[in-house]
Amino acid sequence: MTNEHGGIVVEGVARSFGSVQAVRDIDFEAPPGEVTALIGPNGSGKTTLLLMLASLLAPDSGTVRVAGFDPVTQPAEVRTRVGWMPDTLGVWDSLTVLEVLKTVGALYGMKAAECALRADELLVAVNLTEFGQQPARVLSRGQQQRLSLARALIHDPEVLLLDEPASGLDPGSRVELRSLLRTLAAEGKTVVVSSHVLSELDEIADRAVFVSRGESVKSQTLDEAGNQTRRYYVQAQPMAALAEALGRYGVRFEVRGDSRREEFLVQLGSTAEASWLLRTLVMGDVVVTAFAPAGGALEETYMSLDTDRR
């Protein structure tokens, strides 16, 4: 992949803080028009990488291109094109929600009228219209996250870097965030979302880069993740009939749960294999009451990697 048309390309990046090697060796690509998830356990270097992408921290070595520009030598070009949502929002105590957006817009060189219009649009997009005149400091954690997202979008950046954007959001706001990020990607923007909460990412992301101990250990598209070997749980009534049928078809299974809620876990190579097994069980008169992936596709990859969970 080239970066002539934007997006992000990172090769062999490293960054230490004194004796702590926060990022040792990361390769990372995020193409325009897609949502790329940056996944890794606490302390694996996600925020450090995002800070380097946002031109807020210089790498010790390696190369970074954001929208075709080098954050080290061309920070101004990068900053005008990047929207940055940190994992916690620092707010100016005295400013209202609208003033926060207008002030940030002005810092990006936007005209007052353009800023006001855009701020109003964004408050609608993040569902904060009724808080426009409230001091930003009184917002709840989830509302602050939404303001932080609006702030990142004020100058209509082509690249969005979001550090744990769903943290603190209620389920409704998470669904709205998902839909907003999909819309932004569909507009051709490059969206990077860092997270260690994997449950939502399956539906938000197009691809994922997994990091562990400061190194990129795997990169895969959601299609690849969905087609890999996965565990499915199966329940039937009675379970003995299911055990007998699985034995007959030569499908190995593991028993999970207790006698009140017992389920069998089977390892299946693809969604085609899963639909074959379900069809075969039902056609064989097994009363299947539950049949579903045991975890999300990305979660399966995450659990299969030899990552440290510190």
The one among 1, 11, 17, 269 contacting ligand ATP by CB under 6 A:
17
Stretch that binds ligand ATP, among 38-46, 100-108, 152-160, 180-188 (CB under 6 A): 38-46
Nearer to ligand ATP, 14 or 234 (CB): 14
The one among 2, 42, 133, 259 contacting ligand ATP by CB under 6 A:
42
Nearer to ligand ATP, 65 or 213 (CB): 213
Nearest distance from C-beta of residue 184 to ligand ATP, angstroms: 22
What are the phi and psi torsion angles at 91 (to 5°)?
-115, 150
Residue type, 234: V
The one among 44, 143, 148, 301 contacting ligand ATP by CB under 6 A:
44
Token code pair at residue 55: 């031109």
Pairwise CA distance, residues 70 & 75, whole Å: 7
| 78 within 8 A of 24, measured Cβ to Cβ | no
Q: Helix 141-153 and helix 171-186: axis angle, to 10°?
A: 10
Nearest distance from C-beta of residue 86 to ligand ATP, angstroms: 11
For ligand ATP (CB under 6 A), the number of binding residues is 12
User: Which residue is listed with tokens 């006001």?
Assistant: 116
Please tell me whether the peptide bond between 238 and the residue prior to it is cis, using omega within 30 degrees of 0: yes
| 100 within 8 A of 94, measured Cβ to Cβ | no
Told to check if 47 binds ligand ATP by CB under 6 A, we report yes
Nearer to ligand ATP, 57 or 126 (CB): 57
Pairwise CA distance, residues 276 & 225, whole Å: 19
Nearer to ligand ATP, 20 or 255 (CB): 20
Told to check if 59 binds ligand ATP by CB under 6 A, we report no
Told to check if 24 binds ligand ATP by CB under 6 A, we report no
Segment 164-223, which members bind ligand ATP (CB under 6 A)? Answer: 196
Nearer to ligand ATP, 54 or 286 (CB): 54
Told to check if 46 binds ligand ATP by CB under 6 A, we report yes
Nearer to ligand ATP, 47 or 190 (CB): 47
Token code pair at residue 189: 């923007």
Nearer to ligand ATP, 88 or 179 (CB): 88
Stretch that binds ligand ATP, among 41-49, 65-73, 116-124, 170-178 (CB under 6 A): 41-49
Binding site for ligand ATP (CB under 6 A): 17, 20, 22, 40, 42-48, 196
